[in-house]
Chains A and B, each alone.
Chain A
């Protein structure tokens, strides 16, 4: 088990909390909460050791583009061996739900 922390510039604080995913095989959970204006912090806990560089690369790719447009969030990721593609999809899902009407998992 390893933990990492990443920081990115961001826009205004997110309006609310969103949670998606499961700490199941090949999957991860993403908890997203409002962060201080201008700053996004991501804390990752993963079951698979030795992939810090991959996490850095994938999260850079997701969060470095259009940073000022992204709401400022505190993100907690609990990972159980998700591929970078699944990480990207779950993060995208969380941000999509931030803009939708129902909080929590989709029904």
Chain B
């Protein structure tokens, strides 16, 4: 990551975080190759939200774009963080799972479609409860299926971050890309504070939260593969580089024994610091 040093860098670069989901998909795909699956005009939105007095969005907060990346077939799934906190319901979840399943089918029929998932999500949509959870489980299996053929790349740019069941989806990706604005965690700050107490985790302390779950810390602890600026050009090039690398020799999620071994050395009586966490993850590096 190259640090942004001058105000003109900030003005001239093209922020990815500020883009809406559809614009993010367009920006990652080769120019002119974007074709949306189940676009807003097909009116496949949540049947559950209006019954609960919540205004639905025409695409249910998920944009699926087929096209090419660096000349190769690709599908990009983007979650719109501004709609219901990027929560995944029945429709949006099925769109992502279906897109990944189609990509796996492509591969079984000789078309090497790769997938990129743009996470911006608090996890399951509480108003859709079990239907959202089931959809997220389908996304998990679809990622594991597709990554046997092609790398599945997750990008957490920021705004919302990536939490809940979708943080597991991120953990299943072959490669993860984050910015400094990104956060990745199973539980969000308020939930951790509620469960562990404010003395252990103060959900109002933003620098503290980012020091544990922010993109930089996740990169330093080896839980993500690329740490990039909030720059559309850089993010697209990083995705292209990772796709060109092909499938990783070891999927991160298959190394759970190594991670569990490290975590078992942690003394829970001591208040964790970001430095302690980095030391835990630095121990015994190497693959199993």
Q: Is there contact, CB below 8 Å, between A17 and B22?
A: no
Contact A106/B54 with A24-B83, A25-B82 known, Cβ cut-off 8 Å = no
Given the complex, which residues of B lie within 8 Å of A105, measured CB to CB? 20, 22-23, 26
Given the complex, which residues of B lie within 8 Å of A80, measured CB to CB? 55
Question: At the interface, yes or no: A12 with Cβ under 8 Å from chain B?
Answer: no
Given the complex, which residues of B lie within 8 Å of A45, measured CB to CB? 50, 55-56
Given the complex, which residues of A lie within 8 Å of B254, measured CB to CB? none
Give the contacting residue for B56; candidates A19, A23, A46, A104; CB below 8 A.
A23
A5 to B93, CA, bound (A): 31
Question: At the interface, yes or no: B27 with Cβ under 8 Å from chain A?
Answer: yes
Question: At the interface, yes or no: B40 with Cβ under 8 Å from chain A?
Answer: yes
Given the complex, which residues of B lie within 8 Å of A23, measured CB to CB? 55-57, 61, 82-84
Contact A22/B53 with A76-B58, A105-B20, A105-B22 known, Cβ cut-off 8 Å = no
Q: Of all chain A residues, which has the CB nearest B32?
A: A102
Give the contacting residue for A78; candidates B19, B20, B57, B82; CB below 8 A.
B57
| Size band of the interface chain B makes with A | 20 to 34
Interface class of chain B by DSSP: loop
CB distance from A104 to the nearest CB of B (A): 6
Q: Is there contact, CB below 8 Å, between B82 and A27?
A: yes
Given the complex, which residues of B lie within 8 Å of A76, measured CB to CB? 58
Contact A24/B50 with A78-B57, A107-B23, A107-B27 known, Cβ cut-off 8 Å = no
Q: Of all chain B residues, which has the CB nearest A104?
A: B22
Contact A19/B40 with A29-B58, A31-B58, A76-B58 known, Cβ cut-off 8 Å = yes
For residues 62 through 98 of chain A, which have their beta carbon under 8 Å from a beta carbon of chain B?
76, 78-80
CB distance from B242 to the nearest CB of A (A): 22
Q: Is there contact, CB below 8 Å, between B55 and A78?
A: yes
Given the complex, which residues of A lie within 8 Å of B20, measured CB to CB? 22, 105
Given the complex, which residues of A lie within 8 Å of B58, measured CB to CB? 19, 29, 31, 76, 78
Given the complex, which residues of A lie within 8 Å of B56, measured CB to CB? 23, 45, 78
CB distance from B24 to the nearest CB of A (A): 9
Binding site for A on B (CB under 8 A): 19-20, 22-23, 26-27, 36, 39-41, 50, 53-58, 61, 80, 82-84
Given A1-B54, A78-B55, 17 other A-B residues pairs in contact with their CB atoms under 8 A: A1-B55, A19-B41, A19-B58, A22-B57, A22-B80, A23-B57, A23-B83, A24-B80, A33-B41, A45-B50, A45-B55, A45-B56, A47-B55, A76-B58, A78-B58, A104-B26, A107-B19
Task: Give 18 pairs: A residue, B residue, CB < 8 Å, sorted on A.
Answer: A1-B50, A1-B53, A17-B41, A19-B40, A19-B41, A22-B80, A22-B82, A22-B83, A23-B61, A23-B83, A24-B83, A31-B41, A45-B56, A80-B55, A104-B26, A105-B26, A107-B23, A107-B26
> What 10 A-B pairs have minimum CB-CB distances, sorted nearest first?
A24-B82, A23-B57, A105-B22, A107-B26, A22-B82, A1-B53, A47-B55, A19-B40, A107-B23, A105-B23
